[in-house]
Amino acid sequence: MTTVEWVVLAFNAFVLGYFVVLNGSYLILLYAAGRELFTFMHRARIESTDEIMRSPLAPSIAVVSPAWNESAGIVDSVRSLLALEYPNFEVVVVNDGSSDDTLQRLVDAFDMEPVEYAYAPDVATAAFQALYRSRTERRISVVDKANGGKADAINAGINVADTELVCVIDADSVLDTDALAKSARPFIDDPERMVAVGGIVRIVNGSIVERGHVSEVRLPRAHLARIQVLEYLRAFLAGRSGWSRVNGLLIISGAFGIFRRDIVAEVGGFDTHTLGEDMELVVRIHRHMRRERRPYRIGFVPDPVCWTEAPEDLKNLRSQRIRWHRGLTDVLFRHRSMALNPRYGVVGMFAIPHFVLFELLAPVVELSGLVLVPVSWSLGYVNWVFVLAFMSMALLFGIFLSIAALALEEMALRRYPSVRQLLTLVVYAFVENLGYRQLTAWCRIRGLLKELRRADAVWESLDRKGFTQATGSEAD
């Protein structure tokens, strides 16, 4: 056997082994997610949010919405936040040094005025300029500050919030009206230990949005966005539900997450020097609580829904995925000392190694395998039946995971009401694996390489098309 032959065969064996361990790991996660969602479903049958809605014991929540040049949509966004159903909440908009008229629009729309305010930050931020309060709506305040990036803006909002919990959202997130009540429940049930809760994020493209809330759920018309509907279901229902089951959740999406304010302040707030500030905060909270040996839980509730716009073109998709993978790389590198460290329990022994092996490095192995296995066949090192079986197995496993996520959605939530929508998503579970997955893997490799080169990070935003595109949805 020549050296080349030996290397190629060894790599093939490695890819096969990796594939087995990767899919085994996903199956375990899927099982944990199924258990978690079954519990959730069982609970949903016997509980309602009515008592939270009228309870003086409901923890106070500040919804912190960072805004940078959001002039076009900021007023509607704040109006939709004010329409949320929760007994005890306020909205803190942070104008992060916008160069457009974001601030003026808010001032005009909500009759706001600057007030005397002693800014005493628990978390350091870029220069605070003024606090505005509305003369007519006591639940809204606006922080005007120098530009410092999204994380810095959220930190300023956390400093100003005078509540037990802070809910962090993107300025263009659309929340279900009962999202706060549903995600506050874990804090009511377990106030001592629960420190953070994430909710599911869904794709809003195509759905009908009225007065800042989704009134009719539809599938997007664009193929890319349809695939992302499934991708999000898989990530949230199969992934995060599973990790939540074992208190190993590493990500609470920046689009919607609720945190105990005192804990966020205690760990120093959101990090301003990473693209993965949402994940970084959660990992830091794990680290802090485990080091201090304090009992805690970070949970995921599959029902409080946040809707977000997904990219519908390749340019924006590429840019988003590169950014996400850079964030992931950075966070895992920063907290590398937690990996395989028993002091950090499930997070150190399982969650971080899983993310390194099967999230960070997966695209590298996947694309290498995709190239080298056929090359091995063309060189005559493996036979075609093996190549075909291996490729089919990889493809079918991807499809199986997507369909299983869809089954979890169907079992516990069923947000897509028609059979036609369900079948469309089934079709896209097949389509996703024929090109899309490989494309995103390539973007993730680029993100990894960029982060390793430490290219400059900036607060980017997608080219948004807005939520009013009801006519762009499926024609059902």
Partner 1 sequence: MLLTLAIATTILLFVLIVLLIVALVVRRSLDAQREARERETYERLRPHVVAWLGDPDAEPGPELVGATDARSRDVLSKLLSRYGSMLRGEARDRLIRFVAEQGYVEASVRDLRSLRPWRRGRAARALGDFGSARAVRHLSLLVVRDRDRFVRLAATRALGRIDDYKSAAALLMLLPTEQVPAGVVAQSLLDLGIHGFGALVSGCDDEDDVTRRTACRLVGLIGAGASPDAMRAAHDVLRRRAATDDDAGVRTAALGALAALGDTRSEEVVRAALHDEEPAVRQAAAATAHALFLREVAPDLIEVVGRELQLDRPNWRLVRTASHAWAALAEQLDPDALPVEAREVGMPFLREAAVASSRSLA
Contact residues for partner 1, defined by CB under 8 A: 16, 39, 42-43, 45-47, 50-51, 55-57, 115-120, 122, 162, 187-191, 383, 385-386, 389-390, 392-393, 396-397, 399-400, 403-404, 406-407, 410, 419, 422-423, 426
CB-nearer residue toward partner 1: 19 or 350: 19
Q: How far is the CB of 17 from partner 1 (least distance, A)?
A: 11
CB-nearer residue toward partner 1: 59 or 149: 59
Q: How far apart are CA 169 and CA 147, in angstroms?
A: 18
Q: How far is the CB of 14 from partner 1 (least distance, A)?
A: 14
> Angle at Cα 135 formed by Cα 133 and Cα 140, nearest 5°?
40
CB-nearer residue toward partner 1: 20 or 379: 20
Q: How far is the CB of 168 from partner 1 (least distance, A)?
A: 20
Q: How far is the CB of 191 from partner 1 (least distance, A)?
A: 5
Q: How far is the CB of 46 from partner 1 (least distance, A)?
A: 4
CB-nearer residue toward partner 1: 42 or 294: 42
Q: How far apart are CA 446 and CA 454, in angstroms?
A: 12
CA dist 237 → 15, 31, 249 (Å):
27, 11, 12
CB-nearer residue toward partner 1: 74 or 406: 406
- Give yes or no for a contact between 169 and 70, defined as CB atoms under 8 angstroms apart: no
Q: How far is the CB of 71 from partner 1 (least distance, A)?
A: 29
> Angle at Cα 387 formed by Cα 381 and Cα 390, nearest 5°?
130
**Which distant-in-sequence residues (6+ apart) come within 8 Å of 18 by Cβ?**
365, 369
Q: How far is the CB of 309 from partner 1 (least distance, A)?
A: 27
- Position 287, amino acid: R
Q: How far is the CB of 82 from partner 1 (least distance, A)?
A: 22
Place of tokens 């896209």: 428
CB-nearer residue toward partner 1: 151 or 406: 406
CA dist 190 → 223, 293, 400, 460 (Å):
42, 17, 35, 37
Q: Which long-range contacts (CB under 8 A, 24 or more apart) does 371-378 make?
A: 372/8, 372/11, 372/12, 372/15, 373/12, 373/15, 375/8, 376/8, 376/9, 376/12
Tell me the two tokens of residue 354. 């899983």
Size of the chain in residues: 476
Q: How far apart are CA 227 and CA 437, in angstroms?
A: 10
- State the Cα torsion 176-181-183-186 to the nearest 10°: -160
- Position 317, amino acid: L
CB-nearer residue toward partner 1: 47 or 463: 47
Q: How far is the CB of 395 from partner 1 (least distance, A)?
A: 9
CB-nearer residue toward partner 1: 351 or 413: 413
Q: Is the dihedral of CA 299, 303, 309, 312 positive or negative?
A: positive
CB-nearer residue toward partner 1: 174 or 265: 265
DSSP structural state of residue 312: -
Q: How far is the CB of 360 from partner 1 (least distance, A)?
A: 26
Q: How far is the CB of 407 from partner 1 (least distance, A)?
A: 6
DSSP structural state of residue 436: I
- Give yes or no for a contact between 184 and 59, defined as CB atoms under 8 angstroms apart: yes
Tell me the two tokens of residue 324. 């996400």
CB-nearer residue toward partner 1: 378 or 383: 383
CB-nearer residue toward partner 1: 191 or 466: 191
**Quick check: helix, strand or coil at residue 162?**
coil
